Amino acid sequence: MGWAGKCSNCGTWGSLVETVVSSTPTRKGAVSQIPISLSTVTKERYERFETKITELDRVLGGGIVAGQVTLIAGEPGIGKSTLLMQVAHKVGDTFYVAGEESASQLKLRAERLKVDLSALWVLEDTNVDSIVASLDSFQATSALKLVIVDSIQTLTTPDLSGGAGSVGQIRECTFRLTQWAKRNNIPIILVGQVTKEGTVAGPATLAHMVDTVLWFEGDKNLTLRLLRSIKNRFGPTDEVGIFEMQELGLISMSSMNLLRTERKENVPGSMTTVVLEGTRPLMVEVQALVVSSKLPVPRRVAQGIDSRRIEVILAVLSKHARLNISDCDVFVNIAGGVIIRETGADLAVALAIASSYREVSLPAGLVAVGEVGLLGEVRSVSREKDRLKEAKRQEFSKYVSSQNTSTLVEAIRKYIKK
């Protein structure tokens, strides 16, 4: 069969995928199976061991399960290989498949991170069948606790003609590694490359085939890193691990003070809020700058928050608070490289913009939590009491939320006095 880019049935381009066809003949008759009642099924207890990296264990639900296949993805240079090298050091007896880097490059990183070199075994290979054979041989003679593959997009099988990174190759290689992990009850961590759109490279079925999908995010120019659980068959999917990148690798953070250590008091345009990252409240600083524009269409620049949400908040400020910002450039930034995906920071953003516009600083020790509606009302958000409790624990003595403020105009009049 020659090359074909268009499906003759549905007419879509790029939808044809090379697959391995089994030579085993199909049976004419199928054996009838008797279903069982779910009440009679014995509950399985999964063997789990800790990586001894606090934030990673938190995201995984308490540690790694035997036979678990985990996909960890993120932008290049975000810290995936660094974290996995630290995991190998903590766990020990780790088989590291190097598809992108050489053994000498891995040794340089390991020495920089002060990793125990004797507990890490490196294989430079990209043939998945050779890798599986090597794993079988190694397991027969040595203790093996963990397998790391960096990265899954570099592996190939000679059973398919497609190149490394193609849909068929990624799917087949992942399937064979998953089968080995389940058969031998040894966990495997796969590193996934990302596309320029910020998604995992390869087919969407890759996320369905593995047990756990973790996403690394953060600004590479800053020290903060977030590890988010997207999928987890053995634990929660709403957990987030927080790390700080230091010279000796990624350090687990139990304190949230990193996000506001450089915050300046009594400066217009600065406001603190509490957002939810997974199940934990996180203190973040919202910064806003409003300046007169010389452009026909004023600029609206947002970093760390959806720019469309900023447009909505600006419309509410213009309509209900009577702020004449239609001819002003507005810049909004979430300090620390945090990305806000919820509406709980709306009130803080609105107050920061109003503070910068009127050049009036907000009171020290004030935190704002709440969603701003199109009618100018302040609406409650999920787990608002937990957020305010975290603010109090972080020594914020005053708060503005739906509990003590009903409208945005009321909040502006109370805390931003010209």
CB 362 within 8 A of CB 349: no
The reply to whether 133 falls in a domain is yes
74-105 residue pLDDT tens: 888 889 999 999 999 999 999 999 999 999 99
Instruction: Write the burial class of residue 130 (CB in 10 Å: 0-12 exposed, 13-18 middle, 19+ buried).
Output: middle
Looking at the structure, do residues 247 and 326 belong to the same domain, yes or no? Answer: no
pLDDT at 49 over 80: yes
Burial (0-12, 13-18, 19+ Cβ within 10 Å), 249: buried
Give tens-digit pLDDT for 214-246: 998 887 777 888 899 999 999 888 888 989 888
Which range of residues forms the domain containing residue 216? 46-252
Convert the pLDDT of each residue in 301-344 to its tens digit.
Answer: 999 999 999 999 999 999 999 999 999 999 999 987 788 989 99
Has residue 38 been placed in a domain? Answer: no
What's the pLDDT score for residue 21? Answer: 56
Closest CA to 400 of 359, 328, 331, 352: 352
Three-class SS of residue 346?
A: helix
Number of domains in the chain: 2
pLDDT digits (tens, 9 = 90+) for 347-373: 999 999 999 999 999 998 999 999 999
Measure the CA–CA gap between 82 and 109, rounded to whole angstroms. 8
CA dist 114 and 95 (Å) reads 18
Identify the pLDDT of residue 10.
64
Residue 17 has pLDDT above 70, yes or no: no
Q: Output the domain CATH number for residue 291.
A: 3.30.230.10
Q: What is the dihedral of CA 297, 298, 303, 306, to 10 degrees?
A: -60
**Do 207 and 156 share a domain, yes or no?**
yes
Domain final residue pick, 220, 252, 284: 252
> What mean pLDDT, rounded, does the chain reach?
88
Amino acid 29: pLDDT: 61
Q: Are 315 and 235 within one domain?
A: no
Residues 6+ apart with CB under 8 A from 221: 337
Q: Does the structure show a pLDDT above 50 at 176? A: yes
pTM here is 0.79
Instruction: Work out the pLDDT band at 1, boundaries 50, 70, 90.
Output: very low
205 shares its domain with 305: no
The last residue of one of the domains, among 252, 281, 306, is 252
pLDDT of residue 167: 85
pLDDT at position 387 is: 94
- Which of 252, 276, 298 delimits the end of a domain? 252
The answer to whether residue 294 is domain-embedded is yes
**Residues 245, 343: one domain?**
no
Judge whether residue 18 has pLDDT over 80: no
Q: Which residues contact 262 (CB under 8 A, 6 or more apart)?
A: 335
Helix (H) or strand (E) segment spanning residue 132: helix 128-141
Statement to judge: residues 244 and 295 lie in one domain = no
Q: Which of 38-47, 235-244, 249-258, 398-407: highest mean pLDDT?
A: 398-407
Q: Mean pLDDT, to the nearest integer, of 137-153?
A: 92
